[in-house]
């Protein structure tokens, strides 16, 4: 436990903010709602991005880049889409500044007003589908499997670093298909990719499901999602994959000639994850000493701190440290030697604990004599002495074990915080007193969902994909239901 952080138990939200600052991940910028992602935080995001990008390419996708700006009229083409985004749009109205007549600075030049305002993209369906119209003529042009890494802007009044910011970074896949079946298959495939990424890289178990109409993406026929449970019992939507039907093809008149030479509208999907995943990572694994980064996403997997009193001791230790670092590199492990002599070992230990470096090695002259090295595991906060001469070879198994163990702990926590509710009273007390995922029957109507939300703050996170059929009665209305859905209070 670090004196730099309030404990999670005392103030979870304060803990989160302090951790983001103390671990040097991000900070609020002077531009309202926008964040600065600091180098260490960005390095973790780069690891996420690279792993996802590889997975996208392995599933046949290519990257491209579409404009930042969207003409205002494009947003309006798809009715529910504009309804969903109009209230949070950054609008560009002018394209020039000029010196103010009173010499006090620059002002917007009223002569440089745009004929049509431009929206800073909140998401790119409209600009991309207006482009696809020229790219798609026949079934031979399909499928089109394109992804974009980009910044997007959604004006937010209340922001939290990584979780909800006016500008954020994300990827958005936009695919075009000849049949509904193929598009649904793509939607599911990308949900699988997100699931594997969340579980295998982030060590974060997720529920997979479909959103109800209330929580659906503006313009989608179906929104699939992965939902994770944070340590405070709240759910976090970690990724979404949308089956868009022919909505955007119709809005932008994108038709193709099928094999029978008939004109049809194209079928679409879109899917995205964002820097919000950084928030999910922090709240899944962080503890009262700071962040814990799963080894597969860690910018520094191993840090080696020489412990010495005299300069000649340092020289000897540095030599051994470099040998270990070289062996790490050869195994694809990132190892940092911290021999900065302006900082004391204790300060360094606290710093790397705060930053969540999975393994710390400490090496002093007596270790060298005894052929030992001290190994500290960030996840369990345990120290042990291990043979020095083979330490590099021991690291891959240790890192694997940390990765596995972080997942298992998160999974066990989720299991312990997932409950069935079979009555309205039970439901209310679970939500208000224990939090977590609550599995309950629901009558399938938006009205009931809305009432439950108003009375308890809980929303339906998803209708799980792999839930067994089970007849029951809606916890609120008593109407018949065929399966349980997942409720939780959410970020």
Rule CB under 8 A: which residues touch its own copies? 27, 29-31, 34-39, 42-43, 46, 62-73, 75-76, 82, 86-99, 105-106, 108, 117-120, 127, 130-131, 134, 140, 146, 150-151, 153, 155, 167, 169, 342
Q: Residue 133 or residue 255: which is nearer to its own copies going by CB?
A: 133
Give min distance, CB of 169 to its own copies, in A. 7
CB 463 within 8 A of CB 210: yes
| Residue 438 structure tokens | 């609550």
Sign of CA dihedral 283, 285, 286, 290: negative
Find out whether 227 and 209 touch, Cβ atoms under 8 Å.
Answer: yes
DSSP assignment of 171-230 equals EEEEEEESSHHHHHHHHHHHHHHHHHIIIIIS----EEEE--GGGS-TT-SEEEEEEEE-
Residue 99 C-beta: closest distance to its own copies, Å: 8
* Cβ at position 22, least distance to its own copies in Å: 15
Q: Write out the two tokens for 172.
A: 């958005």
Going 141 to 147 to 151 to 153, the CA torsion angle's sign is positive
Kindly report the backbone phi and psi dihedral angles of residue 17, in degrees, each rounded to the nearest multiple of 5, phi listed first: -65, -40
H-state helical runs in 286-363: 311-330, 345-355
Which residue is listed with tokens 């495939």? Answer: 189
Pick 107 or 180: Cβ nearer its own copies: 107
What's the closest the beta carbon of residue 71 comes to its own copies, in angstroms? 6
Shortest spacing between CB 23 and its own copies, in angstroms: 14
Residues 280/228, Cβ–Cβ less than 8 Å: yes
How do beta strands 207-210 and 459-464 pair?
A: antiparallel
138 near 257, Cβ under 8 Å?
A: yes
Cα gap 204→284, rounded to integer Å = 7
**At closest approach, how far in Å is the CB of 112 from its own copies?**
8
Question: Which of 92, 490 has the CB closer to its own copies?
Answer: 92
Q: How far is the CB of 342 from its own copies (least distance, A)?
A: 7
Identity of the residue, 16 or 162, whose beta carbon is nearer to its own copies in the bound complex: 162
Class of residue 422 by CB neighbours under 10 A (exposed 0-12, middle 13-18, buried 19+):
middle
Of the pair 156, 288, the CB lying nearest its own copies is at 156
Nearer to its own copies, 109 or 482 (CB): 109
Phi, psi of 219 (to 5 degrees): 120, -5
Task: Quote the tokens at residue 157.
Answer: 């009044």
Output the smallest distance, CB 346 to its own copies, in A. 18
> Which CB, 68 or 307, lies closer to its own copies?
68
State which residue, 113 or 404, has the beta carbon closest to its own copies.
113
Residue number, 57 or 457, with CB nearest to its own copies: 57
Could you say which DSSP state residue 468 is in? Answer: P
């Amino acid at each position: 436990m670090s004196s730099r952080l309030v404990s999670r138990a005392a103030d979870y939200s304060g803990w989160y903010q302090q951790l983001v600052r103390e671990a040097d991940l991000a900070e609020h910028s002077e531009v309202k709602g926008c964040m600065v992602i600091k180098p260490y935080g960005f390095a973790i995001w780069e690891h996420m991005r690279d792993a996802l990008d590889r997975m996208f390419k392995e599933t046949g996708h290519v990257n491209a880049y579409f404009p930042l700006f969207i003409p205002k009229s494009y947003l309006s083409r798809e009715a529910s889409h504009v309804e969903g985004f109009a209230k949070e749009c950054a609008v560009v109205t002018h394209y020039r500044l000029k010196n103010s007549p009173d010499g006090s600075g620059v002002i917007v030049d009223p002569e440089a007003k745009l004929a049509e305002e431009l929206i800073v993209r909140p998401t790119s369906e409209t600009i991309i589908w207006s482009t696809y119209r020229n790219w798609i003529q026949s079934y031979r042009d399909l499928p089109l499997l394109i992804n974009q890494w980009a910044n997007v802007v959604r004006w937010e009044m209340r922001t939290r670093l990584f979780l909800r910011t006016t500008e954020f970074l994300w990827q958005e896949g936009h695919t075009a298909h000849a049949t509904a079946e193929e598009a649904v298959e793509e939607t599911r495939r990308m949900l699988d990719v997100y699931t594997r990424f969340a579980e295998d890289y982030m060590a974060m178990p997720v529920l997979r499901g479909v959103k109800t109409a209330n929580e659906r993406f503006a313009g989608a026929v179906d929104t699939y999602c992965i939902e994770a449970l944070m340590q405070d019992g709240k759910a976090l939507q970690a990724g979404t994959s949308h089956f868009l039907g022919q909505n955007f093809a119709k809005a932008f008149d994108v038709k193709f000639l099928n094999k029978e030479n008939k004109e049809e509208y194209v079928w679409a999907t879109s899917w995205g994850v964002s820097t919000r995943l950084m928030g999910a990572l922090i709240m899944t694994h962080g503890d009262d000493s700071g962040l814990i980064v799963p080894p597969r996403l860690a910018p520094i997997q191993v840090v080696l701190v020489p412990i010495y009193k005299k300069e000649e001791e340092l020289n000897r230790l540095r030599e051994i440290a470099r040998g270990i670092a070289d062996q790490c590199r050869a195994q694809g492990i990132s190892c940092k030697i911290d021999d900065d002599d302006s900082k004391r070992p204790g300060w360094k230990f606290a710093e790397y604990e705060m930053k969540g470096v999975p393994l710390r090695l400490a090496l002093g002259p007596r270790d060298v004599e005894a052929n030992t090295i001290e190994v500290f595991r960030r996840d369990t906060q345990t120290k042990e002495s291990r043979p020095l001469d083979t330490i590099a070879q021991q690291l891959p198994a240790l890192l694997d074990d940390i990765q596995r163990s972080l997942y298992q702990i998160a999974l066990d926590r989720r299991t312990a915080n997932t409950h069935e509710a079979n009555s309205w009273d039970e439901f209310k007390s679970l939500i208000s007193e224990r939090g977590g995922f609550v599995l309950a029957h629901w009558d399938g109507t938006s009205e009931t969902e809305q009432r439950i939300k108003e009375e308890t703050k809980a929303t339906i996170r998803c209708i799980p994909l792999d839930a067994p059929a089970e007849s029951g009665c809606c916890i609120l209305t008593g109407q018949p239901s065929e399966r349980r859905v997942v409720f939780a209070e959410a970020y």
